Structure 1
């Protein structure tokens, strides 16, 4: 399978509709939407699979504001008058997760998120659109030298608040519902596309800001994606995971 980025599939909708409003797309509109995203995909040397047509329409029809994953900011560290990084606490919560181990990072997150997208868009036990949350988080691991990403990448979608007590079950056996424990992270914003090269660069930059410390993991990190691919300098974050105290 050719490459398509998470951001290309995760940012299909920007204008809010009423929650229950769902205007059926006619054949011409569905073709137009799919053609648009084929063009986006082709810019990343990708063939968009036909089974993504309906999820694309569903995401477009439900263009409500995305629900943020809840967190508390514990500390902001400034440098030259700007926030260099934040220390955050995320509460325990239920996430839909899928792990892929493709040859390239972009392939793993793409294939994983396309499956999550179908889960969000009615391929679940209640047969309805669940709503989008941000960020979508990708957990990555580095080799011992810290020079390369390992193949396995876990892509995670936070269940909206109304589904936290009783998450709908996925139809896809590769997707699992995980109750994650509270998570404390050091996070730094960066902008643009996410590739293995850009991720490794951002990890190095945050290490330079933090200096030597054993309070965070050295082998596991998270990449958080927030925005629509039409935004040239879209927002992402690199997360360093605090060790349990």
Structure 2
């Protein structure tokens, strides 16, 4: 298993973006192009809780599903190859118990964009994600949920001080390193620029429509 993972992480690709502006070297504004991602979502109850009953096995399950998909557990048994960053998206649902959705996503390499292999596992979704403008801030270490929330709050405070409006019902944690890298790790918080046309959550980064539905249209 270790050798498979190490091979998978070689020659990785990343989603394309244009740098719009760097703000006092503290955070960046980027415009990301439309892209294809494979995703698995779970319920976080609540969105962050130090005494949560979630086990390490539960946390690793979505990642294992996506690793299986890119390593051949798909229609056609294609080996797709790893990409970076790995994205954790937190969508605040405000359910009866404060439930929120967390979505783990891998970017699909360019050579598989037009004909993305369909997943065998029904929990894996293929999403066509539109372009978006995000504000990003880097941070180090391993990006657990609690740390992601704290770093998000730091970025949110800077944006508010600068008079910048962002969406408050969703944020992203982007992870750029393999699990084997123990030091000098790179992560980012992404906050989506607020739009003026009151678009819904489904109209920004993670669209709910799957690729096979789009093909039927």
Cα distance, 1:126 vs structure 2: 2.1
Q: TM-score scaled by structure 1? A: 0.68
The 5-angstrom pairing of residues 25-40 of structure 1 reads: none
Distance 1:168 1:109 in 2: 25
The 5 A counterparts of 1:138-149 are 138-142=88-92
Structure 1 range deviating more: 211-220 or 176-185: 211-220
RMSD: 2.4
What is residue 153 of structure 1 aligned with on the other side? 102
Any idea what SS the aligned residue of 2:29 has?
strand
- Correspondence list, 1:109-148, <5 A: 110-142=60-92
Partners of 1:176 and 1:116 in 2: how far apart? 10
2:42 to 97, 100, 105: 100
Alpha-carbon separation, structure 1, partners of 2:188 and 2:59: 15
Is the aligned partner of 1:167 residue 2:116? Answer: yes
TM superposition shift of 1:113:
1.2
Asked if the contact 1:89/1:183 (under 8 Å) is kept, the reply is yes
- Does 1:189 pair with 2:147? no
Question: How many residues are aligned here?
Answer: 184
Q: For structure 1, which runs of at least 5 residues remain unmatched after alignment?
A: 1-52
Of 165, 182, 206, 1:231 maps to 182
Distance 1:110 1:178, change over 3 A: same
How has the CA–CA distance of structure 1 residues 240 and 106 changed in structure 2, closer, same or farther, with 3 Å as cutoff?
farther
SS in 1 for 2:11: coil
- Distance in 1 of aligned mates of 2:28 and 2:7: 35
Gaps of 5+ in 2: 46-51, 197-217
SS at match of 1:218: coil
In structure 2, what is the Cα distance between the partners aligned to 1:181 and 1:174? 22
User: Displaced runs of 4+ in structure 1, greater than 4 A?
Assistant: 102-109
Larger Rg: 1
After TM superposition, give the deviation of residue 137 of structure 1 in Å: 0.7
1:70 counterpart = 2:19:
no
Aligned partners of 1:141, 1:234: CA distance in 2, in Å? 25
Q: Using structure 2 for the length normalisation, give the TM-score.
A: 0.76
3-state SS of 1:199 partner: helix
